[in-house]
């Protein structure tokens, strides 16, 4: 199966780009960030201290997470319950950032992520896809943008979905996530050596997608 890995910091547009590319290419889209959000959501639902690595690892014994695909869209299931609509809050984002630093959590989800790529042509986005999960991916992209741009995109996304949000708070949380992601001991956020860096600062979504489609076309001669 052919795999495209898309990595990058929060708010870079990885999932949006991956979904659109998957539709155009006929690939499966695997949003690995949603898997970590599911773990974070589970911890919050059970009042587990996400700063306590031992407590989080213990709670993994009661967790079953999977991605299911319906009409080309991926849905996240936690213990057989669809939680896709419950994992996009800033609280869950911060919990996901915390638990993703733990080797036990990353190991817990690694096999699931690789299994998806074994069974389908896939576009998988996350933070360590090209470096750890799919190091042999046919194409590796690293999406980035300024923190201010990424915070504004996240702010608009939240407000458009009807959630209350404060731009300054979103920017502050984003900076915290950037620091956590790039400084964790387990699979820190960094571009793969052979990744194509794509900076979307100041670009409209359509422009960014066309840029990436050009890169994909040149790589696969399509």
Q: Domain locations in the chain?
A: 3-200
Measured CA to CA in angstroms, residue 187 lies from 41, 61, 181 at distances of: 21, 22, 9
pLDDT of the residue at 168:
97
pLDDT digits (tens, 9 = 90+) for 113-164: 999 999 889 999 999 999 999 999 999 999 999 999 999 999 998 899 888 8
User: Residue 161 and residue 165: Cα distance in Å, rounded?
Assistant: 10
Look at residue 51 and give its three-state secondary structure. Answer: coil
Structure confidence at residue 90 (pLDDT): 86
**For residues 167 and 63, what is the distance between their CA atoms, to the nearest angstrom?**
33
pLDDT at 71 over 90: no
pLDDT range class, residue 70, cuts 50, 70, 90: confident
Helix (H) or strand (E) holding 154, with range, is: helix 147-160
Percent pLDDT > 70 in the chain is 100
pTM: 0.88
Q: What is the pLDDT averaged over residues 184-208?
A: 93
Q: For the domain made up of 3-200, give the CATH fold.
A: Rossmann fold (3.40.50)
What does the pLDDT read at residue 1?
Answer: 81
Could you tell me which of 87, 56, 69 has the C-alpha nearest to residue 28? 69
Mean pLDDT, residues 93-109: 93
Mean pLDDT of the chain: 93
pLDDT value at residue 145: 96
**Tally of CB atoms within 10 A around 92:** 21
Q: Is 5 exposed, middle or buried (0-12, 13-18, 19+ CB in 10 A)?
A: buried
Q: What is the 3-state secondary structure (H, E, C) of 95-141?
A: HHHHHCCCHHHHHHHHHHHHHHHHHCCEEEEECCHHHHHCCCCCEEE
The tens digit of pLDDT for each residue in 14-49 reads 989 999 999 999 999 999 999 999 999 999 999 999
């Amino acid at each position: 199966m052919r795999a495209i890995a898309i990595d990058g910091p929060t708010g870079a547009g990885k999932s949006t780009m991956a979904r659109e590319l998957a539709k155009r290419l006929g690939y499966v889209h695997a949003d690995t960030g949603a898997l970590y959000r599911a773990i974070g959501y589970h911890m919050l639902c059970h009042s587990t201290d996400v700063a306590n690595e031992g407590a989080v690892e213990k709670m993994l014994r009661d967790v079953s997470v999977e991605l299911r695909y319906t009409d080309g869209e991926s849905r996240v299931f936690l213990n057989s319950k669809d939680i896709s609509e419950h994992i996009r809050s800033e609280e869950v984002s911060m919990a996901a950032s915390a638990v993703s630093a733990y080797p036990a959590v990353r190991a817990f989800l690694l096999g699931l992520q690789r299994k998806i790529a074994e069974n389908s042509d896939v576009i998988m986005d996350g933070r360590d896809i090209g470096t750890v999960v799919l190091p042999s991916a046919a194409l590796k992209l690293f999406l980035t943008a300024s923190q201010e741009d990424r915070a504004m995109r996240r702010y608009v996304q939240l407000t458009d979905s009807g959630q209350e949000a404060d731009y300054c708070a979103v920017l502050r949380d984003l900076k915290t996530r950037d620091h956590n992601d790039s400084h964790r001991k387990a699979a820190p956020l960094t571009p793969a050596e052979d990744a194509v860096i794509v900076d979307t600062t100041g670009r409209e979504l359509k422009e960014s997608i066309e840029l990436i489609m050009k890169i994909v076309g040149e790589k696969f001669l399509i």
